[in-house]
Amino acid sequence: MSERLEHSIPVAGPWITEKEVSYVTDAASGDWYANSNNYVDRFEEAFANYVGSQFAISLPSCTSALHLALMALGVGPGDEVIVPDVTWIATVAPVSYVGAVPIFADIDKENWCICPQSLERCITEKTKAIIVVDLYGNMPEWSAIQSIAEKYNILIIEDAAEAIGSQYKGNFAGSFGEVGTFSFHGSKTVTTGEGGMLVTDNQSVYERCMFLRDHGRIPGDVSFCNEEVAYKYKMSSMQAAMGLAQIERVEELVGKKRQIFQQYREGFTCMEGIYLNTEPEFVRNSFWMSTIVWDDSYKIEKLDLMARLLDNKIHVRPFFSPLSSIPAYKNLIVSKSCAKRNINSYQISFSGINLPSALSLGNDEIDMVISSVRDIFSQI
């Protein structure tokens, strides 16, 4: 058995330098009132330039970005929105917020993102939009998905919360739909502690989201006479300062994530029945979470593996469970047939974990994770 650690290995975490500290200190010192949008404007501009979008709107979370996107695109009661069955609940909760119905499609066996064939089978006359998730940094078959959306005149919203820096055929994650959304949670590759971003090339969507994010006020309004009841979805200057410093280092951060994954890939190369994130020839994967999935030759469930690794002070996360199986959504009529219909979602999600992928990890810590996982699997 591998040597027991004297300290814990974190599953996620940021890489903060003096640049971030300097920018945040500067914002805290002077970005108030008349100057309060200084770092916000700079962060939004830098982010839009990186992704390749015309507009970017900083927000308190990716969840709020998805909420605004659905509202700006006119999704509401009576509409259906197709989503992957395997993702974090934040992808789907905004669909419920606006009164629409989520329809759970299966995931692809290789990239773990929404399966184009399953997606097309889910389309009805009520389908208004698709939310496509770039799961763990993986990229779906965007060419097929865009063709289907065009064929049926369906809107695409891209949930790129986990995929900043990923590319498909040379285009960055977040640029494939009518709207793209990102997360800057403390676990993400680029972080503001908490935060999000919405990107779009559609000016009317941009203007509507800007209006909705500030209690229904037209940007620049000084009358305090609100046009509608809306939301308080703004990012603080200090968060934006952190984000600006991070986006200026984004390729360094993505490079570190790719280095972590490469070490895992080499460590598990000779293990049959173990599969990691994919990276097809036309994809650059940013590997937010290095992830392993095992086949049924290994008789161990993900929660059992997590517990055994935690005994060795190694923190991991479970592969997301199908949303159609969790208490929040399992009682929906649309969820009843998912276990039989979404075969990949139910097979893969119960035999997978996210490995430690914190940006602070050293090579010795990654080797310890590899050794511990290999030891556990050798005993099964």
Going by C-beta distance under 8 Å and a sequence separation of 6 or more, which residues neighbour residue 84? 91, 104, 105, 106, 107, 113, 114, 131, 132, 133, 135, 345
CATH superfamily for 250-378 is Aspartate Aminotransferase, domain 1 (3.90.1150.10)
Q: Which residues pair with 57 in a beta bridge?
A: 198
**pTM as predicted:** 0.96
Q: Compute the 3-state secondary structure of the chain and give helix, strand, coil in percent, each to the nearest 5.
A: 40, 15, 40
**Strand positions, DSSP E, the chain:** 55-59, 80-84, 101-105, 127-133, 155-159, 167-168, 171-172, 179-183, 196-200, 274-276, 283-284, 291-294, 317-318, 352-354
The structural domains of the chain, with segments of one domain joined by +, span 18-105+112-247, 250-378
Contact 149, 156 (CB under 8 A): yes
Contact 325, 360 (CB under 8 A): no
Rounded Cα distance, 269 and 94, in Å: 39
Structural tokens at position 229: 């009841």
Amino acid at 175: S
Going by C-beta distance under 8 Å and a sequence separation of 6 or more, which residues neighbour residue 2? 312, 368, 371, 372, 375
Going by C-beta distance under 8 Å and a sequence separation of 6 or more, which residues neighbour residue 71? 98, 208, 212
| 114 phi and psi angles, rounded to 5 deg | -60, 135
Task: Tell me what pLDDT residue 1 has.
Answer: 41
Rg (the chain; Cα; Å): 21
SS3 92: coil
Measure the N-to-C terminal CA separation of the chain; round to a whole number of Å. Answer: 13
Mean pLDDT, 10 residues at a time, the chain of 380 residues: 69 98 97 90 98 98 98 98 98 98 98 98 98 98 98 98 98 98 98 98 98 93 93 97 98 98 96 96 97 96 97 97 98 96 97 98 98 95
Antiparallel, parallel or unpaired: β 196-200 and 283-284: unpaired
Going by C-beta distance under 8 Å and a sequence separation of 6 or more, which residues neighbour residue 152? 123, 127
Q: Which of 66, 141, 61, 76 is nearest to 108 (CA)?
A: 141
Is CATH 3.40.50.2000 the classification given to domain 18-105+112-247? no
Q: Which residues pair with 185 in a beta bridge?
A: 193
Task: Tell me what pLDDT residue 5 has.
Answer: 56
DSSP for 290-308 reads -EEEE-TTS---HHHHHHH
